[in-house]
Structure 1
Amino acid sequence: MADSLPLVYVVPVMVGLAVVSLSVAGLSSALEARDRGLSVGSGLTLPLRETARLMRQRPRRTVSADRLLWRSASSAVIPLAVLIVAFVPLGAHALVDHPLGLVWINALDVVAWAVMWLLGWGVNSVTGLVGGYRFLALALGYELPLMFALTAPAIAAGSLNLAEISATQDGLWFVVWTPVAFVAYCWGVLGFSVRPPMDPGAGSDVNGGILAELAAVDRLLVLAGRYALLVAGSAAAVPLFLGGGAGPLLPGWGWVLIKTILVSGLLVLAGRRLPTLRPDKLLELGWVVVLPLVVAQDLVVSVIAVATN
């Protein structure tokens, strides 16, 4: 098990999460600018310019909106990402070292269901409500495959502690012999972070869905939180599938950071290249294709784990 870090390290970890999230947002904007034939440099700086614009913008109000639910949901996205990162071992240390760390990460991902749905429900608009229910339908499609994907490294390591799962991969990372689980996990990360192509709840065909009525700081918190969730999910993939802080020369936390950035970049690129499907098609893909494959992966891992006990 990893040693728990003193609370004084909370601030550096949060700053690191913010910097990586901003970098990933810049990468996404730069790729979009390139696809549109615009300057890549303008895309890289777009997150900063958008932040400044939203900070000056006036909040939007809708008739009979439930402001408590709306504001609570928009304010909860970033803390969810911080809590996920808190369980990730940074080499030999973690902010929170818990024997059931993997269960906590899965539970926090489920909380994202409520947060995203409340964004649509609390605003009291048609587009917001449609977007919220779209997200719930999509969540049914990615959540079960994600849960079984998380089961694979737990079975292989015989533990639910992230540090122990990471240590078990000495010599052979789980991504090598559980590739289906890794792909299903990444698919789930795109889902709970509402990133393309898993973002029909915020699709342009419903005028932005859960994002339609968000403005000013509320919108900034949610947009930043989506990238933070993407980075947090990528960070959790490091001890689960990529050997944690294992690597030459650099300290453990350095390798965790590098691997997190690489996985985040991979997910952004995948989101730009994969086709966008209708919610019903995404649900069908999750239950008919991804779920059976990842269950079969778990069965293979179970047989290997028992045979090599």
Structure 2
Amino acid sequence: MATVAVTCLLPVALVAGAWWVTALDGVLADRAAGLGAGAGWGLARPGREVARLLVAQRRTTLAADGILRWAGVVTLVVASVLGAAVVPLGWRAPAELSVGVVWFNAMEVVAWAAVWLVGWGPNSALSLVGGYRFVAQGLSYELPHMFAIITAALGAGSLRMSEIVDAQADLWFVVWMPAAFAVYLLSAAAMAFWGPFDAPLGRDVAGGAAGELSGVDRLLFAGGRRLLLVAAAAVAVPLFLGGGHGPWLPAWAWVLLKALAVLTLLVWLRHRLPVVRMDRWAEVSWIVLLPLTMVQTLAVALVTLAVGGVGR
């Protein structure tokens, strides 16, 4: 019965998170532009955008591969939801997999392929450029992202999300894995092509991978992108922030509050991090983030071995 309740809660939480991302991002953008929109107006923005795209006319390009484009759009949404299925909403996850960490990373790679299909399908040069930009960005940030995730799994000695949460009963991993947590947030934003990492959708290529999407296709693509960001924020909770551990409130409430805090931070960072060329961000990944996560992983491995040796 508990598993059924958790499974029903997951899609509701994901949609609510995507709604919050759109609303907060719009409010921060209006404030940066000097527009004084109220909170109610900001919360209603996602609904207006959904209604606009639902009635918008769908357009196609010459010799477009509609099947590939539609497959990419749908796959992006499905992969985002499946990636979040291993997050324990309380003490149980909808999908309690023994390799939950690997599953989440695999779904991110599936989403990566989906964006490339969206860029390839319309048979448009600028759309294809956007797709290949995301491939290049994914290649740059996948390794530090993977090392950051594996660092948490190494500290717990397990790839199961619930066991990683149990290992943080006394001390959250973010306390002694701060570098891995910071790299995870940056690389998660890059994998969700969010904030300064949105070169695949850049204005210089007329919207890039999403430039030829309209109507329902564009709605699903935008929703999948936000769902991917919500899933990444949710996974940060069991990996680094203690999962459902916390006083007074029930475990599921702590998971939702922590995920909301991480999501708010990622949206806020979008309006604070500098917008630089994509190749500069690739240099940051290869030269700074990858060595940093390798050192963090080595440090965690040494501590884990030392603690294990003392225990024996």
Which digits, 9 at most, give the CA deviation of each residue in 1:128-161, with x for residues without a partner?
A: 0000011111111110000110111111111100
The amino acid across from 2:261 in the alignment is L
Query: Cα gap change, 1:4/1:162 in structure 2, threshold over 3 Å: closer, same or farther?
Result: farther
Write the distance in 1 (CA, Å) between the matches of 2:173 and 2:78: 29
Write the distance in 2 (CA, Å) between the matches of 1:26 and 1:10: 25
Moved more, 222-231 or 297-306: 222-231
Counterpart of 2:286? 287
The amino acid across from 1:306 in the alignment is L
Write the distance in 2 (CA, Å) between the matches of 1:132 and 1:179: 32
Counterpart of 1:75? 74
Write the distance in 2 (CA, Å) between the matches of 1:224 and 1:230: 10
Write the distance in 2 (CA, Å) between the matches of 1:105 and 1:31: 30
Counterpart of 1:127? 126
Write the distance in 1 (CA, Å) between the matches of 2:103 and 2:70: 24
TM alignment of 1:190-209, pairs within 5 A:
190-209=189-208
Matched, 1:242 2:241: yes
Counterpart of 1:115? 114
Gaps of 5+ in 1: none
TM alignment of 1:117-266, pairs within 5 A:
117-266=116-265
Write the distance in 2 (CA, Å) between the matches of 1:29 and 1:130: 27
Write the distance in 2 (CA, Å) between the matches of 1:79 and 1:11: 16
The amino acid across from 2:20 in the alignment is S
- Alpha-carbon deviation of 1:75? 1.4
Gaps of 5+ in 2: none
TM alignment of 1:14-163, pairs within 5 A:
14-41=11-38, 42-163=41-162
1:11 alignment partner, one of 5, 8, 11: 8
Whether the 8 Å CA contact 2:83–2:105 is kept in 1: the answer is no
Write the distance in 2 (CA, Å) between the matches of 1:71 and 1:61: 12
Write the distance in 1 (CA, Å) between the matches of 2:108 and 2:20: 23
Whether the 8 Å CA contact 1:55–1:217 is kept in 2: the answer is yes
TM-score (norm 1): 0.96
Moved more, 146-155 or 71-80: 71-80
Which digits, 9 at most, give the CA deviation of each residue in 1:198-251, with x for residues without a partner?
A: 111011111110110110000001111111111110000000000000011111
> Any idea what SS the aligned residue of 1:240 has?
helix
RMSD of equivalent CA atoms: 1.3
Whether the 8 Å CA contact 1:31–1:43 is kept in 2: the answer is no
Which digits, 9 at most, give the CA deviation of each residue in 1:17-39, with x for residues without a partner?
A: 10121012100111001111113
Write the distance in 2 (CA, Å) between the matches of 1:13 and 1:104: 17
> Any idea what SS the aligned residue of 1:22 has?
helix
- Alpha-carbon deviation of 1:10? 3.0
Counterpart of 1:275? 274
Counterpart of 1:299? 298
Moved more, 251-260 or 45-54: 45-54
- Alpha-carbon deviation of 1:46? 2.0
Give the aligned length: 306
Write the distance in 2 (CA, Å) between the matches of 1:165 and 1:11: 23
Query: Cα gap change, 1:12/1:154 in structure 2, threshold over 3 Å: closer, same or farther?
Result: closer
- Alpha-carbon deviation of 1:4? 7.7
Write the distance in 2 (CA, Å) between the matches of 1:9 and 1:147: 27
> Any idea what SS the aligned residue of 1:169 has?
coil
> Any idea what SS the aligned residue of 2:24 has?
helix
Write the distance in 1 (CA, Å) between the matches of 2:279 and 2:84: 31
The amino acid across from 2:10 in the alignment is V
The amino acid across from 1:112 in the alignment is A
TM-score (norm 2): 0.95
Whether the 8 Å CA contact 2:80–2:108 is kept in 1: the answer is no
- Alpha-carbon deviation of 1:118? 0.7
Write the distance in 2 (CA, Å) between the matches of 1:181 and 1:259: 17
